[in-house]
Structure 1
Amino acid sequence: MAAVERVEDVPVDQAPVEALRGRLDEIADRWVTHIVAKNSGYLDTALVSLPDLRRSCRDNADAMLRLLAGDTGAEPYAVIRASARRQAERGVPLDSVLRSYRLAGLAVWQEAMDALPEPALLDVAGSLWMVVDEVSAEFATCYHYHRTELELLRMAEQRRRVMVDELLRGRGRESSFLEEAALKLDLPADSPYLVFAVEPTSAGRPGVEMPTETLAAGNFRSVWQVSGEALVGLVALERSGQEAVLRRLRPAMRGRGGVGPVVSGLGRVDEGYRLALTAMATLPPGSPGLAVLEDHLPEALLVRSPELADMLVRELLGPVLDLPGKEGRHLLTTLAVWIDTNCSVAHTAARLYCHRNTVLNRLNRLETLLDRPLKGRATFVAVSLALTAWELGQARP
């Protein structure tokens, strides 16, 4: 690109320029009007409100007038460079912005025609369009720099995502890939790890708030990435154990989440990922909270074998579920409370706000329907699992 003659090489009378700087509000209003009328695509693409656009136009117009007055300091160019960075981040097309700068020159010239005497107009005219060219060239240079920087960041983020996905698929067993992944993700290869899976909230917000920052405050290194419909977190336990991580994350939970047992190294996070999904499935859909797999092992067994869980419900509880109306649900609720209270009729009656004879009658009715006594280890375990499977099934969409 050919070098642009710098405006400070062309002397300009300061008085007309200072007079125009006193009319910055009018220039900004004219510039915004021209953008809306002649370059509306710029406004739509920038996703910026009209008040924000006007503030930006005023700042940039002031920078242009300072350059027109021969200001060679860093501040006018800092305004132009900041604008270039913002528009690059927003993805506004460069041609659209450069057209807007030409409209800025038009706005300044129109204001000058309204406010300055003819001799001063001639003095300003000699340098105004040089300033527009110089500002446009500076903007384009910074814009290309930031677009390149953003593209490199996007490429690095894409490589990071691919590496996490490959780890979750089990490629961490390959020593060469594991070494590269640990380096690129800035994670230790040999540290124990916790793996989290967290669903978004019903409103679509992240299921855990700022997990990376929350854990970094406790000196935990972690990587969090969306995989499928869940946010997956790989947390290195370099200095502290599982409980220290859980204490930090539990208050930040907003959606349903699960965490598996500690796995031995970055190369085995795929195992932790599968178990974290299982742990998450032990909570009812849409229920916020964090399920630790070790605390939900019976439910996890049922979640991992949904066909067997359904068969267990059908075979053990089918006669009760087939009862008309709400009788079956009342009987199963009574059975669940009775088991939860260590088979205490009195405590069950108190929990359900009914007479103990009512509880005894319901238990007798259940024994008749199930064709087995409710006492005994085998029956107790089978019925408890069947109740859990039924509750999980009720929660499934």
Structure 2
Amino acid sequence: MIDRTSAEGGPSGVHEGASEAAARLARSMLAGIDSVTDRLVDDIIAENPEYYESERVAESDLRDSCRANLQRVLQLLGRRVPPGADPYDAARRTGRLRAEQRVALDLVLRSFRLGGRVVWSSALEAAREEHEFDPDTLLEVGTSIWNVVDAVSLAVSDSYRAAELELLRGDEQRRQVLVDGLLRGTGTDSDFVESALRALGLPAVGPYLVIAAEIPSSVADVPAPESTLQQHGISSVWQAQADTLVGLVAVGDHPLEEIPGLLRDVVQAGMGVSPTVDRGDAVPHARELAVLALRSLPRGASETAWLDRRLPQALVARSPELADRLVERTLAPVLNLPEAERRLLLETLETWLAADCSAKRTAARLYCHRNTVLNRLSRIEALLCRPVTGVQETVWLSLAMHALELRKR
């Protein structure tokens, strides 16, 4: 096992363990490094073609990288690293550059293994010319070479992964800028909308849905619905905005009603769903409607609110100031009662309205006698100074009761 820490910032214990024979051979190969480089470039092109044919690594780039890394490997083996130089600087540069070029790490490491093979075969050729090395010494040389190659490969891998992480963070930031532009309308021109949809993997035209889901404060990690919908062939993008998770969903040919249900494995809280829109520039308005639909639910609810099915409630939710005034002007006398009576009368009124103002159905739902319901309703009418029947009155009372429920948000 190689110790990865050293004063020079790279794997240590490598050139200390290199044999004298390996050092002599390495110094000999340094004198002919151009020919060693040629061999390595030819081997990579022949045996690791994806690395070169990726059209990301030019031949001049490949040659320069091979030469720089071979030089450092031979300097480590030959104990000729210049004072103050980082013996792994070439490896780290290569790792970062290949990550930026989006070359797969396994292709990069395979090229370094080919480099180790070239160094080993070149060392054997140099040893034959000197006629001074027995098999045990050559075995020691081989061990030293592969220890150095492993250490350099480790530096490449670490540098690659660090750069890859930076790139992923940058990619995610750019992606979120595009998502934000679509959802909030910060990029309103048609060229931006078209390019953003394309970059995010969404179709150029709808139908689209916008879904807004509540993020409970007890949730440690924000849900990630994108992969869940992708399993069903549905493309979407999502963004956490304050305590709300907002997603743009490409409906395609999927049944509209099924989409919220597909999310229930990852989203257990309430969801608001906008009407469908066909154009990308209509998404910001759809987002507002989805958030409004969500706000029409009491906080902590787990149901799905389709805006078009909750328009009266959405009207109340859209104007919190008017909603508060509606509650005070309509229900204040009941709200000022002691808690037990207040809860009893509000429950009766809510059930009465939900039962289409039927005393019989209200009594059945409350498990009490019909006359008990009528007595409570009479008490409510006396307190409110208004009837609890009639179209206008029931609409007024229903909106007031909903506004009262929304105070819990």
Bucket of the pairwise TM-score, normalised by the shorter protein: 0.5 to 0.7
Q: Give the aligned partner of residue 219 of structure 1.
A: 233
Contact 2:235/2:249, CA 8 A, preserved across alignment: yes
Report SS of the residue matched to 1:242: coil
Q: Give the aligned partner of residue 170 of structure 1.
A: 185
Q: Give the aligned partner of residue 196 of structure 1.
A: 211
Contact 1:367/1:374, CA 8 A, preserved across alignment: yes
User: Hey, what's the Cα distance between the residues in 2 that align with 1:352 and 1:254?
Assistant: 29
Q: Give the aligned partner of residue 161 of structure 1.
A: 176
User: Hey, what's the Cα distance between the residues in 1 that align with 2:200 and 2:179?
Assistant: 8
Contact 2:183/2:248, CA 8 A, preserved across alignment: no
Residue ranges of structure 1 left out of the alignment (5+ in a row): 12-83, 89-120
2:397 aligns with one of 383, 386, 395: 383
Q: Which letter maps to 1:190? A: V
Percent identity at matched positions? 44
Compute the displacement of 1:252 (Å). 4.2
Is 1:258 aligned to 2:283, yes or no? Answer: no
Q: Deviations over 1:59-115 (max 9, x none)?
A: xxxxxxxxxxxxxxxxxxxxxxxxx99xx9xxxxxxxxxxxxxxxxxxxxxxxxxxx
Q: Give the aligned partner of residue 97 of structure 1.
A: none
Q: Deviations over 1:238-265 (max 9, x none)?
A: 2234224234224543223222111222
Cα gap change, 1:205 to 1:286, in 2 (>3 Å): farther
Contact 2:194/2:280, CA 8 A, preserved across alignment: no
User: Hey, what's the Cα distance between the residues in 2 that align with 1:171 and 1:234?
Assistant: 15
Indicate the RMSD between aligned Cα atoms, in angstroms. Answer: 3.4
Contact 2:296/2:314, CA 8 A, preserved across alignment: yes
User: Hey, what's the Cα distance between the residues in 2 that align with 1:175 and 1:224?
Assistant: 21
Contact 1:172/1:268, CA 8 A, preserved across alignment: no
Report SS of the residue matched to 1:150: helix
User: Hey, what's the Cα distance between the residues in 2 that align with 1:154 and 1:346?
Assistant: 62
2:286 aligns with one of 244, 247, 272: 272
Q: Give the aligned partner of residue 317 of structure 2.
A: 303
Compute the displacement of 1:153 (Å). 2.5
Contact 1:197/1:259, CA 8 A, preserved across alignment: yes
User: Hey, what's the Cα distance between the residues in 2 that align with 1:257 and 1:145?
Assistant: 41
Contact 1:189/1:267, CA 8 A, preserved across alignment: no
Compute the displacement of 1:207 (Å). 6.3
Q: TM-score, normalised by structure 2?
A: 0.62
Q: TM-score, normalised by structure 1?
A: 0.64
User: Hey, what's the Cα distance between the residues in 2 that align with 1:172 and 1:124?
Assistant: 65
Q: Aligned pair count?
A: 287
Report SS of the residue matched to 2:204: coil
Contact 2:334/2:342, CA 8 A, preserved across alignment: yes
Cα gap change, 1:229 to 1:374, in 2 (>3 Å): closer
Q: Which letter maps to 1:334? A: T
Cα gap change, 1:309 to 1:218, in 2 (>3 Å): same
Residue ranges of structure 2 left out of the alignment (5+ in a row): 1-13, 23-94, 100-135
User: Hey, what's the Cα distance between the residues in 1 that align with 2:283 and 2:401?
Assistant: 32
Q: Deviations over 1:160-196 (max 9, x none)?
A: 1111112222145301211221221111222221111
User: Hey, what's the Cα distance between the residues in 2 that align with 1:207 and 1:350?
Assistant: 42
Is 1:293 aligned to 2:307, yes or no? Answer: yes
